[in-house]
Structure 1
Amino acid sequence: MVDLPEQPPTFRPATPAERPWWWRLEDASGQEVAVEGELGTARFPSQGDAESWVGEVFADLAAEGVDAVTLFELERQVYGPMSLHP
């Protein structure tokens, strides 16, 4: 058996250490909402990237049943829940 080198970063999913920022998606009662696709699994390299993303997709999240979001850096809660409604 031949040992192959580790895949370069462009060919493998980013690790949590490389993209530590993520949003927990919540319903009105504060329970986590499972959303399919990128909306439910997006991770970011910086707080600014995470905040920009949620600003761009908040209407899509609300359409999926998300009422609020909470920002995390790895396992540390940064802030939230933050409502997606006016």
Structure 2
Amino acid sequence: MAYRWRYEDSGGGELSGPAVEFEDQDEAEAWFSAQWDQLSTTGIEQVTLLDGDDEVYGPMSLRPAE
């Protein structure tokens, strides 16, 4: 299976975003760490990590902790 991020609005609705797939979870998380601030400027509010169609974790907010 391939890891990928599902991009969502604040209500959990799916949004379009970079269609990137990763061989493992570490690679997916490293990419996200480098890209999250850019993703947050496009209207993406939260993300969920998927392994194929299975949710690994999420949703995870892109907003700074208060």
Q: TM-score, normalised by structure 1?
A: 0.71
Superposed CA RMSD in Å reads 0.9
Runs of 4+ in structure 1 deviating by more than 2 angstroms, as ranges, are none
Q: TM-score, normalised by structure 2?
A: 0.91
Task: Show CA shifts across 1:22-49 (max 9, x none).
Answer: 00000111101113xxxx2011011000
Could you say which structure has the greater relative contact order, defined with CA pairs below 8 angstroms and 6 or more residues apart?
2
Structure number with bigger Rg: 1
Structure 1: gaps of 5 or more residues: 1-16
**Percent identity (aligned):** 38
Structure 2: gaps of 5 or more residues: none
Q: Which has the higher strand share?
A: 2
